[in-house]
Amino acid sequence: MTSVLDRFLRYVSFHTTSDENSDTCPSSARQKCLGESLVAEMQAMGIVDAYMDENGYVYGTVPGDPKLPVIGLIAHMDTSPDASGENIKTRVVAYSGGDILLNEEKGIYMRAKEFPNLKKHQGKHLVVTDGTTLLGADDKAGIAEILTAAEVLLTTKMNHATLKIGFTPDEEIGRGADKFNVKDFAADYAYTVDGGSIGEIEYENFNAAGAMVVFSGRNIHPGSAKDMMKNSQQIAMEFHGMLPAQQRPEHTEGYEGFIHLTDMEGTVEQSTLRYIIRDHDMEKFQRKKAILEEAAAFINRKYGEGTAQLMMQDSYYNMREKIEPCMYIVDRAAKAMESVGITPRIVPIRGGTDGARLSYEGLPCPNLCTGGENFHGRFECIPVEDMELCSRLLVEILTSL
């Protein structure tokens, strides 16, 4: 048996950052390198139908009792572009409390004061980085936990449901479900293993949209610019100042949505602001989009039609309405957690998963914890003990039917 830790450490050695500026699938060819390695590993384990399709999606089956439901487990192979995913240097720390020195040369610490979630992991072994890259627990921990559970099923005589495995590319840029083959996957229901700290079960996620606003200006020599210059950067700042500050992500939590400025660029002639819009409540989600529309309309009335060009597109919707008719799959996960000593906590996802889109495509798919903390940043970490517990949880879901 390969340990979940050994699997995880091997997977994070692959550089699989997705690229939101690419129009290919997968968005970065390097994701296929991990996919090919996973297929070889799965076949060596005895998953004879394991394969990767032309779009970089990896599939496989562990046959089980045909009288039981067919259950899918899904994770994603890419890592977030929010921080570097290249040349990840890992270390396992026996954590006894306090600050963790990640990088002596650069003086990088994970401070207990800044990350109070560390306190609950005293006595565990934390996988950390050197503080210059993300770790990749989101979601290579999910992959490691799924394949560790699959190996348990393959090497024991426990009666279990048929397991369908799916590993997707490009989840971090919102495209993970784009080319997922729901029909051939042929699961009755599934779980994404893509959550955070131990005990989380999630079946509510944000409704999500992306927005880009392009501002057009007019450049004139500043020495003779009076009443003629139209500085697109100043107009862009004016537009942003019209958005409600209390609806920024740094001021929200729980079910509260947000309008988040993700990046900006500009000159006097042209500037661009990009946003993501999120809310669990559809009515509030639509209102947030209307706020941007109203601000753009005001700018155009003030500075001339076409000054602000707003382009907005929905990304995914709250899967709650697709899960509530089959809440028994959430209850099953909660019961399995209790059986392996995990206290279940049903929480809303302040983000999205492949499962949100897949639920709308006919595959009900709530989200389960992986044990990871501080995703998308240089202080990402995960306890070894929690990865092991999550693997046991997946086995329990597949066998206690």
Whether 41 contacts 59, CB under 8 Å: no
Number of C-beta neighbours around residue 268 at 10 A: 17
End-to-end CA, the chain: 24
C-alpha distances in angstroms, 222 versus 225, 226, 227, 235?
5, 8, 11, 17
Closest CA to 27 of 211, 189, 172, 232: 172
Could you say which DSSP state residue 67 is in?
T
> How far, rounded to the nearest angstrom, does the alpha carbon of residue 283 sit from its chain's CA centroid?
24
Whether 144 contacts 48, CB under 8 Å: no
> How far, rounded to the nearest angstrom, does the alpha carbon of residue 360 sit from its chain's CA centroid?
18
Burial class (CB in 10 A: 0-12, 13-18, 19+), 21: exposed
Whether 142 contacts 50, CB under 8 Å: no
Residue carrying the six token digits 């495209």: 175
Number of C-beta neighbours around residue 228 at 10 A: 10
Catalytic-labelled residue, pool 41, 138, 170, 171? 171
Residue 188 annotated in active site:
no
What residues contact residue 128 under an 8 Å CB cut-off, 6+ apart? 90, 91, 92, 93, 100, 102, 110, 135, 381
Residue 171 annotated in active site:
yes
How far is residue 247's CA from residue 241's CA, in Å, rounded to a whole number? 12
Length of the chain: 401
Catalytic-labelled residue, pool 78, 145, 151, 204? 78
Residues catalogued as catalytic: 78, 171
